[in-house]
Structure 1
Amino acid sequence: MELIEKIILTQIYLSGITGKSYKDNLKTKKGFTENIINSKIDELVKNKLITEDKSALTELGRSSLRVVLAGGVFDIIHPGHIHTLNAAKILGDVLVVVVATDNTAIKMKKRQPLHSKEQRQELVNSLSMVDLCLIGQEDDIFKTVNLVKPQIIALGYDQVHQEKFIIEGCKKINLDAKVARLQSPIPESSSSKIQKEYGESIHGI
Structure 2
Amino acid sequence: MLEQSQRTILSTIYVCQIEGTNPIEKIKRKTAFSDDQINSKIEELIKKQLVNEDKKTLTESGRDSLKVVLAGGVFDIIHPGHIHTLNAAKELGDALVVVVATDNTAVKMKKRRPLHSQEQRQELVNSLSMVDLCLIGQEDDIFKTVNNVRPQIIALGYDQAHQEKFITEGCKKINLDAKVARLQSPIPDSSSSKIEKEYGESIHGI
TM-score where L is the length of structure 1: 0.96
Tell me the SS of whatever aligns to 1:56: coil
Residues in 2 aligned to 1:129 and 1:29: alpha-carbon distance in whole angstroms: 12
Q: How far 1:184 moved relative to its partner?
A: 2.3
Residues in 2 aligned to 1:72 and 1:181: alpha-carbon distance in whole angstroms: 13
112-121 vs 186-195, which moves further: 186-195
* Cross-structure match for 1:8: 9
Residues in 2 aligned to 1:204 and 1:65: alpha-carbon distance in whole angstroms: 51
The number of residues matched between the two structures is: 205
Tell me the SS of whatever aligns to 2:36: helix
Tell me the SS of whatever aligns to 2:30: coil
> Percent identity, aligned pairs only?
77
The RMSD of aligned alpha carbons is: 1.1
TM-score where L is the length of structure 2: 0.96
Q: How far 1:63 moved relative to its partner?
A: 0.9
* Cross-structure match for 2:197: 196
Displaced runs of 4 or more, over 4 A: none
Contact 2:22–2:56 under 8 Å retained in 1: no
87-96 vs 182-191, which moves further: 182-191
- Name stretches of at least 5 consecutive residues in structure 2 with no aligned partner: none
Residues in 2 aligned to 1:90 and 1:29: alpha-carbon distance in whole angstroms: 17
**Within 5 A, what are the aligned runs for 1:157-176?**
157-176=158-177
Q: How far 1:187 moved relative to its partner?
A: 3.4
Contact 2:5–2:31 under 8 Å retained in 1: no
1:41 aligns with 2:4: no
Contact 1:79–1:187 under 8 Å retained in 2: no
Residues in 2 aligned to 1:189 and 1:91: alpha-carbon distance in whole angstroms: 22
* Cross-structure match for 2:130: 129
**Within 5 A, what are the aligned runs for 1:146-161?**
146-161=147-162
* Cross-structure match for 1:88: 89
Residues in 1 aligned to 2:169 and 2:38: alpha-carbon distance in whole angstroms: 40
* Cross-structure match for 2:145: 144
- Name stretches of at least 5 consecutive residues in structure 1 with no aligned partner: none
Q: How far 1:204 moved relative to its partner?
A: 2.2
Q: How far 1:53 moved relative to its partner?
A: 2.6
1:61 aligns with 2:95: no
Q: How far 1:30 moved relative to its partner?
A: 4.4
Task: Please give the per-residue CA displacement for 1:122-178, whole angstroms capped at 9, x wherever unaligned.
Answer: 111111111111100100000100010000000011111011111111111111111
Q: How far 1:64 moved relative to its partner?
A: 0.8
Tell me the SS of whatever aligns to 1:188: coil
Tell me the SS of whatever aligns to 2:140: coil
